[in-house]
Amino acid sequence: MAKVLVVTSGKGGVGKTTSTAALGAALASAGKNVVLIDFDVGLRNLDLVMGAERRVVYDLINVVQGDAKLAQALIRDKRVPTLSLLPASQTRDKDALSDEGVSRVIAELKEKFDWVICDSPAGIERGATLAMRHADVAIVVTNPEVSSVRDSDRIIGLLDSKTERAEKGERVEKHLLLTRFDAVRAGRGEMLNVEDVLEILSIPLLGIIPESSEVLRASNLGSPITLNNPASAAARAYFDAAKRLNGEALDMTIPSDRKGLFGKLFGRRAA
Protein backbone atom coordinates (compact mmCIF):
# COMPACT_ATOMS: atom_id res chain seq x y z
CA MET A 1 0.00 0.00 0.00
CA ALA A 2 1.57 3.24 -1.14
CA LYS A 3 1.93 6.04 1.34
CA VAL A 4 1.93 9.73 0.53
CA LEU A 5 4.36 11.66 2.70
CA VAL A 6 4.59 15.43 2.84
CA VAL A 7 7.70 17.17 4.11
CA THR A 8 6.62 20.58 5.33
CA SER A 9 7.53 23.29 7.83
CA GLY A 10 5.87 26.64 7.27
CA LYS A 11 9.14 28.50 7.60
CA GLY A 12 11.68 28.56 4.80
CA GLY A 13 15.27 27.45 4.99
CA VAL A 14 14.86 24.88 7.75
CA GLY A 15 15.83 21.92 5.59
CA LYS A 16 12.70 20.59 3.88
CA THR A 17 14.34 19.93 0.54
CA THR A 18 17.54 18.54 2.06
CA SER A 19 15.48 16.25 4.29
CA THR A 20 13.25 15.15 1.39
CA ALA A 21 16.30 14.17 -0.64
CA ALA A 22 18.09 12.47 2.26
CA LEU A 23 15.05 10.52 3.47
CA GLY A 24 14.01 9.58 -0.05
CA ALA A 25 17.47 8.25 -0.82
CA ALA A 26 17.59 6.39 2.51
CA LEU A 27 14.19 4.74 1.89
CA ALA A 28 15.15 3.87 -1.69
CA SER A 29 18.50 2.36 -0.63
CA ALA A 30 16.53 0.13 1.73
CA GLY A 31 14.78 -1.29 -1.34
CA LYS A 32 11.58 0.76 -1.41
CA ASN A 33 10.23 2.31 -4.60
CA VAL A 34 10.32 6.03 -3.92
CA VAL A 35 9.30 9.08 -5.91
CA LEU A 36 10.08 12.63 -4.83
CA ILE A 37 7.77 15.42 -6.04
CA ASP A 38 8.93 19.02 -5.91
CA PHE A 39 5.89 21.22 -5.18
CA ASP A 40 7.91 24.42 -5.04
CA VAL A 41 6.75 25.64 -8.43
CA GLY A 42 8.70 28.72 -9.44
CA LEU A 43 11.51 28.15 -6.94
CA ARG A 44 12.48 24.58 -7.59
CA ASN A 45 15.50 23.22 -5.76
CA LEU A 46 15.02 19.51 -5.35
CA ASP A 47 16.48 18.80 -8.79
CA LEU A 48 19.70 20.57 -7.77
CA VAL A 49 19.97 18.78 -4.45
CA MET A 50 19.38 15.47 -6.25
CA GLY A 51 21.89 16.36 -8.97
CA ALA A 52 19.27 15.94 -11.70
CA GLU A 53 19.06 19.53 -12.93
CA ARG A 54 20.59 18.74 -16.30
CA ARG A 55 18.12 15.96 -17.05
CA VAL A 56 14.84 17.85 -16.58
CA VAL A 57 12.66 17.75 -19.71
CA TYR A 58 9.07 17.84 -18.48
CA ASP A 59 7.89 18.87 -15.04
CA LEU A 60 4.98 18.61 -12.61
CA ILE A 61 3.04 21.42 -14.30
CA ASN A 62 3.28 19.72 -17.70
CA VAL A 63 1.89 16.53 -16.20
CA VAL A 64 -0.82 18.29 -14.18
CA GLN A 65 -1.98 20.16 -17.28
CA GLY A 66 -1.85 17.03 -19.42
CA ASP A 67 0.94 18.22 -21.77
CA ALA A 68 3.21 15.31 -20.86
CA LYS A 69 2.78 11.79 -19.58
CA LEU A 70 3.98 10.94 -16.11
CA ALA A 71 6.54 8.47 -17.46
CA GLN A 72 8.08 11.23 -19.60
CA ALA A 73 8.51 13.58 -16.67
CA LEU A 74 9.87 11.15 -14.08
CA ILE A 75 13.66 11.22 -13.73
CA ARG A 76 15.22 8.04 -12.44
CA ASP A 77 18.20 8.48 -10.15
CA LYS A 78 21.51 7.19 -11.50
CA ARG A 79 22.85 6.06 -8.13
CA VAL A 80 19.75 4.35 -6.69
CA PRO A 81 17.53 2.76 -9.35
CA THR A 82 14.43 2.65 -7.13
CA LEU A 83 14.50 6.43 -6.62
CA SER A 84 12.67 8.79 -9.01
CA LEU A 85 12.12 12.54 -9.13
CA LEU A 86 9.23 14.59 -10.48
CA PRO A 87 10.67 18.11 -10.75
CA ALA A 88 8.78 21.38 -10.43
CA SER A 89 8.62 24.05 -13.09
CA GLN A 90 10.87 27.05 -12.63
CA THR A 91 9.11 29.28 -15.14
CA ARG A 92 5.52 28.97 -13.92
CA ASP A 93 3.93 29.86 -10.61
CA LYS A 94 1.87 27.94 -8.12
CA ASP A 95 -1.46 29.04 -9.62
CA ALA A 96 -0.74 26.68 -12.50
CA LEU A 97 -1.32 23.74 -10.15
CA SER A 98 -4.93 22.56 -10.21
CA ASP A 99 -6.50 20.54 -7.47
CA GLU A 100 -7.83 17.84 -9.83
CA GLY A 101 -4.55 17.64 -11.72
CA VAL A 102 -2.55 17.09 -8.55
CA SER A 103 -5.04 14.46 -7.31
CA ARG A 104 -4.72 12.60 -10.61
CA VAL A 105 -0.92 12.68 -10.59
CA ILE A 106 -0.71 11.46 -6.99
CA ALA A 107 -3.23 8.69 -7.61
CA GLU A 108 -1.17 7.55 -10.60
CA LEU A 109 2.09 7.64 -8.64
CA LYS A 110 0.54 5.66 -5.77
CA GLU A 111 0.06 2.74 -8.13
CA LYS A 112 3.74 2.61 -9.07
CA PHE A 113 5.60 3.49 -5.89
CA ASP A 114 5.75 2.54 -2.20
CA TRP A 115 6.46 6.08 -1.03
CA VAL A 116 5.29 9.28 -2.70
CA ILE A 117 7.23 12.08 -0.99
CA CYS A 118 6.01 15.64 -1.55
CA ASP A 119 8.52 18.42 -0.91
CA SER A 120 6.36 21.33 0.19
CA PRO A 121 7.24 24.96 -0.48
CA ALA A 122 7.56 27.31 2.48
CA GLY A 123 4.53 29.30 3.54
CA ILE A 124 0.92 28.33 4.01
CA GLU A 125 -0.40 29.34 0.61
CA ARG A 126 -1.60 27.34 -2.36
CA GLY A 127 1.60 25.40 -3.04
CA ALA A 128 1.94 24.26 0.55
CA THR A 129 -1.72 23.35 0.98
CA LEU A 130 -1.74 21.39 -2.30
CA ALA A 131 1.41 19.53 -1.27
CA MET A 132 -0.15 18.42 2.02
CA ARG A 133 -3.64 17.86 0.65
CA HIS A 134 -3.31 14.13 -0.13
CA ALA A 135 -0.84 13.22 2.58
CA ASP A 136 -1.19 10.12 4.75
CA VAL A 137 1.94 10.96 6.72
CA ALA A 138 3.52 14.34 7.40
CA ILE A 139 7.02 15.20 8.47
CA VAL A 140 7.22 18.62 10.09
CA VAL A 141 10.77 19.91 9.76
CA THR A 142 11.69 22.28 12.57
CA ASN A 143 14.86 24.09 13.67
CA PRO A 144 15.40 24.56 17.39
CA GLU A 145 14.43 28.23 17.36
CA VAL A 146 11.20 29.98 18.34
CA SER A 147 10.10 31.30 14.94
CA SER A 148 10.49 27.92 13.29
CA VAL A 149 8.61 26.22 16.12
CA ARG A 150 5.70 28.63 15.92
CA ASP A 151 5.43 28.24 12.13
CA SER A 152 5.52 24.47 12.53
CA ASP A 153 2.69 24.71 15.02
CA ARG A 154 0.66 26.63 12.45
CA ILE A 155 1.36 23.97 9.83
CA ILE A 156 0.27 21.20 12.22
CA GLY A 157 -3.02 23.07 12.63
CA LEU A 158 -3.42 23.11 8.85
CA LEU A 159 -2.57 19.40 8.60
CA ASP A 160 -5.43 18.79 11.03
CA SER A 161 -7.92 20.85 9.04
CA LYS A 162 -7.01 21.32 5.37
CA THR A 163 -5.98 17.84 4.27
CA GLU A 164 -8.19 15.29 2.56
CA ARG A 165 -7.86 12.97 5.55
CA ALA A 166 -8.87 15.69 8.02
CA GLU A 167 -11.93 16.49 5.93
CA LYS A 168 -12.93 12.83 6.06
CA GLY A 169 -12.56 12.91 9.83
CA GLU A 170 -9.36 10.86 9.81
CA ARG A 171 -5.97 11.96 11.09
CA VAL A 172 -2.76 12.60 9.23
CA GLU A 173 0.09 10.82 10.98
CA LYS A 174 2.46 13.61 12.01
CA HIS A 175 6.16 13.37 12.88
CA LEU A 176 8.65 15.95 14.00
CA LEU A 177 12.08 16.09 12.40
CA LEU A 178 14.36 18.41 14.33
CA THR A 179 17.12 19.62 12.03
CA ARG A 180 20.29 21.70 12.50
CA PHE A 181 20.44 20.66 16.12
CA ASP A 182 23.56 21.50 18.09
CA ALA A 183 23.62 19.70 21.44
CA VAL A 184 26.37 21.93 22.84
CA ARG A 185 24.56 25.17 22.06
CA ALA A 186 21.23 23.75 23.29
CA GLY A 187 22.99 22.81 26.53
CA ARG A 188 24.20 26.40 26.91
CA GLY A 189 20.65 27.65 26.37
CA GLU A 190 21.45 29.38 23.06
CA MET A 191 19.02 27.08 21.27
CA LEU A 192 15.77 25.46 22.28
CA ASN A 193 16.38 21.95 23.55
CA VAL A 194 14.54 18.87 22.34
CA GLU A 195 12.15 18.76 25.30
CA ASP A 196 11.08 22.39 24.79
CA VAL A 197 10.23 21.80 21.14
CA LEU A 198 8.37 18.57 21.85
CA GLU A 199 6.44 20.21 24.67
CA ILE A 200 5.29 23.04 22.40
CA LEU A 201 4.45 20.96 19.34
CA SER A 202 3.28 17.77 21.09
CA ILE A 203 3.77 15.43 18.13
CA PRO A 204 6.05 12.35 18.12
CA LEU A 205 9.71 12.79 17.28
CA LEU A 206 11.00 11.08 14.13
CA GLY A 207 14.63 12.08 14.41
CA ILE A 208 17.17 14.69 15.40
CA ILE A 209 19.56 15.75 12.65
CA PRO A 210 22.73 17.33 14.02
CA GLU A 211 24.08 20.54 12.51
CA SER A 212 26.81 19.48 10.13
CA SER A 213 28.91 21.05 7.42
CA GLU A 214 28.61 17.77 5.52
CA VAL A 215 24.96 18.58 4.73
CA LEU A 216 25.80 21.77 2.87
CA ARG A 217 28.70 20.12 1.08
CA ALA A 218 26.43 17.29 -0.11
CA SER A 219 23.75 19.74 -1.31
CA ASN A 220 26.29 21.65 -3.36
CA LEU A 221 27.56 18.43 -4.89
CA GLY A 222 24.02 17.53 -5.95
CA SER A 223 23.90 14.41 -3.87
CA PRO A 224 21.70 13.61 -0.87
CA ILE A 225 23.80 13.34 2.29
CA THR A 226 22.65 9.75 2.78
CA LEU A 227 24.32 8.82 -0.54
CA ASN A 228 27.22 11.25 -0.51
CA ASN A 229 28.54 10.48 2.95
CA PRO A 230 26.52 7.67 4.57
CA ALA A 231 28.91 7.49 7.52
CA SER A 232 28.42 11.11 8.59
CA ALA A 233 26.41 11.89 11.69
CA ALA A 234 23.63 13.65 9.78
CA ALA A 235 23.31 10.75 7.32
CA ARG A 236 23.10 8.22 10.16
CA ALA A 237 20.35 10.33 11.73
CA TYR A 238 18.43 10.33 8.43
CA PHE A 239 18.85 6.56 8.05
CA ASP A 240 17.41 6.11 11.56
CA ALA A 241 14.50 8.43 10.73
CA ALA A 242 13.79 6.43 7.55
CA LYS A 243 13.76 3.19 9.56
CA ARG A 244 11.30 4.73 12.04
CA LEU A 245 9.09 5.75 9.09
CA ASN A 246 9.01 2.10 8.10
CA GLY A 247 7.77 1.24 11.55
CA GLU A 248 10.98 0.18 13.27
CA ALA A 249 11.28 1.15 16.92
CA LEU A 250 14.77 2.57 17.52
CA ASP A 251 16.16 4.41 20.52
CA MET A 252 16.37 8.12 19.93
CA THR A 253 20.01 9.21 19.79
CA ILE A 254 21.75 12.27 18.47
CA PRO A 255 24.61 10.98 16.30
CA SER A 256 27.73 13.10 16.46
CA ASP A 257 30.90 13.46 14.45
CA ARG A 258 32.92 14.04 17.60
CA LYS A 259 36.23 12.32 17.40
CA GLY A 260 38.26 10.73 20.17
CA LEU A 261 41.11 12.52 21.87
CA PHE A 262 43.58 11.45 19.21
CA GLY A 263 41.26 12.44 16.44
CA LYS A 264 40.83 15.86 18.01
CA LEU A 265 44.55 16.44 18.35
CA PHE A 266 45.12 15.17 14.86
CA GLY A 267 42.25 17.19 13.43
CA ARG A 268 43.52 20.35 15.04
CA ARG A 269 47.02 19.83 13.80
CA ALA A 270 45.78 19.22 10.29
CA ALA A 271 43.71 22.41 10.40
Residues that bind another protein (CB under 8 A): 124, 146, 150-151, 153-154, 156-158, 160, 169, 199-200, 202
Q: Which is nearer to another protein, 124 or 215 (CB)?
A: 124
Q: Which is nearer to another protein, 153 or 182 (CB)?
A: 153
The CB-of-224 to another protein minimum distance in angstroms stands at 31
The CB-of-154 to another protein minimum distance in angstroms stands at 4
Q: Which is nearer to another protein, 31 or 157 (CB)?
A: 157
The CB-of-153 to another protein minimum distance in angstroms stands at 4
The CB-of-248 to another protein minimum distance in angstroms stands at 27
The CB-of-173 to another protein minimum distance in angstroms stands at 15
Q: Which is nearer to another protein, 73 or 135 (CB)?
A: 135
Q: Which is nearer to another protein, 99 or 199 (CB)?
A: 199
DSSP labels, the chain? --EEEEEE-SSSSSSHHHHHHHHHHHHHHTT--EEEEE--TTS--HHHHTT-GGG--S-HHHHHTTSS-HHHH-EE-SS-TTEEEEPPPSSS-GGG--HHHHHHHHHHHHHH-SEEEEEPPSSSSHHHHHHHHT-SEEEEEE-SSHHHHHHHHHHHHHHTTSSHHHHTT---EEEEEEEEE-HHHHHTTSS--HHHHHHHH-S-EEEEEEP-HHHHHHHHHTS-HHHH-TTSHHHHHHHHHHHHHTT-------------HHHHHHHHHH-
